[in-house]
Amino acid sequence: MKTLPAPLLAKISWRLLPFLLLMYIMAFLDRANVGFAKQAFQADTGLSDAAFAFGAGVFFVGYALLEVPSNLILHRVGARLWMCRIMVSWGLVSAAMVFAHNETSFYVLRFLLGVAEAGFFPGVILYLTYWFPQAVRGKAMGFFYFGAPLAFIFGSPLSGLLLEMDGFAGIHGWQWLFAVEGLMATAVGIWAYWYLDNRPADATWLTTDERQQIQRLLDSEDQHKTSHGRSLLTVLCQPSVLYLCLVYLLIQASVYGVVFYLPTQVGGLLGTKVGLMVGLVSAIPWLCALFAAWWIPSYCDRTGLRRQTACLTLLMAAAGIACSVTFANPLLGMLALCFAASGFIAVQPVFWTFPSSYLAGSAAAASIALINSFGALGGFIAPVIKHWAEGAFNSPAAGLYLLSATTVLAALLVLGIHSPGRTASKTPATV
């Protein structure tokens, strides 16, 4: 399969991927910091576990409702303006969480946070298809997925430190957490307006010949994909797209079933409250996930064994989720969390190579957003079914055992996904 010369790929990668990575770090921090705030927030507001689970999940309802229209707008107006709008608005809503003093305000702000952030993730996935050919897209997406583990590696200690500022200037620690991390996202969003280029044709940092090389290759790939010639409704109702929606829903249920409760779980393993120490230890599984997000997508690009590798990676995550509550030993429990985090983070850039291999244009924009919407519903369902299972079986481990089982189901379903096949190239590529 044809690809771009290695020096040109490196030039594009170093220009775009670090900044997109920074944006994803901000997104993941603002999405998951509610897990760090959980104990202190509930102590100050009196929120019950059921109310917290619903509030943590309702974010994904607003997120899912606007995914498709948001991504279609990005496809029309460009990433430069739309990514700025998304990040600025979600940062301000996240910072407004300092005013969440009861169930109603918590639910409303979490819902609005989902509305504000809707379209960010599928927008970036779509944006990468404008710049990277199929042969190296998995590796580029893998680099982008560094954002989730890096958000926890650096964000976990930051979140823990902000929580320990409790009482400084008369402000609760959880309020410092939401305010500081929300305003950081707003600042990056403003920067995005001046930094991003919508398409290769707009990139003044590329030569005319380089811009033409990129466009010729991407145009030749798009000729074989589903594009503007079919109605969006027809594309969205394709069995292959709906199948991907189901798989991604199950993957995201495992992700957020762990993410929202990981600081509390680590605190339980260490026998201490959530603070700086828990933040530092919580970063360990994400260091492992960082390596996995680099190696596994690269391996898939080289071999083309995407479905098989994705299946095994999800089985590893399922085993890690189950074992994290099976072992009472803190060391074994942390080791299991390392496998869980590595598996469900590394499988995602591999997964996104499937829809981007046969969708283009507005069809890609809408379908990628729809698939991510179902993933968002998985994020809503996960804390709810986790809380239900723990109550129904009168066991604090039952929720994670259930999520482990749904992850096994996702692994089996991955084997039925249409695969783009071998995309390795004899031409070396640096991403």
| Residue % of the chain over a pLDDT of 90 | 39
- The answer to whether the CB of 232 falls within 8 A of the CB of 366 is yes
- Average pLDDT (71-88) is 93
Query: Over 70: is that where the pLDDT of 89 sits?
Result: yes
Greatest mean pLDDT range, 245-254, 260-269, 415-424: 245-254
* Range name among 19-23, 26-30, 103-107, 302-306 with the lowest pLDDT average: 26-30
For 312, the token pair is 């095994």
Q: What is the pLDDT of residue 431?
A: 35
**What band does 77 get if pLDDT is binned at 50, 70 and 90?**
very high
Cα angle: 367, vertex 346, 291; to 5 degrees: 145
Query: Over 60: is that where the pLDDT of 222 sits?
Result: yes
Q: What is the pLDDT of residue 78?
A: 92
* Range name among 18-27, 63-72, 277-286, 291-300 with the lowest pLDDT average: 277-286
Question: Around 4, how many Cα atoms within 13 Å sit in the side-chain half-sphere?
Answer: 27
The Cβ of residue 82 has, within 10 Å, a number of other Cβ atoms equal to: 24
Where b means 16+ CB within 10 Å and e means fewer, 3-41 reads: bbeeebbebbbebbbeebbbbbbbbbbbbbbbbbbbbbb
For 166, the token pair is 């409790």
Torsion on CA atoms 340, 345, 347, 353, rounded to nearest 10: 170
Condensed to tens digits (0 to 9), the pLDDT of residues 412-430 reads: 999 998 654 444 333 333 3
Q: What is the pLDDT of residue 116?
A: 93
Residue 278: closest CA among 180, 151, 387, 164: 164
Which DSSP letter does residue 356 get?
A: G
Q: What is the pLDDT of residue 243?
A: 93
Give the ranges where 204-353 is alpha helix by DSSP (H).
Answer: 208-222, 232-236, 239-259, 262-270, 276-303, 306-324, 330-351
Query: Over 60: is that where the pLDDT of 1 sits?
Result: no
Q: What is the pLDDT of residue 164?
A: 87
Condensed to tens digits (0 to 9), the pLDDT of residues 129-151 reads: 899 888 788 788 888 888 878 87
Average pLDDT score over the chain:
85
pTM beyond 0.95, yes or no? no
For 184, the token pair is 């950081």
| Residue % of the chain over a pLDDT of 70 | 91
Q: What is the pLDDT of residue 182?
A: 92
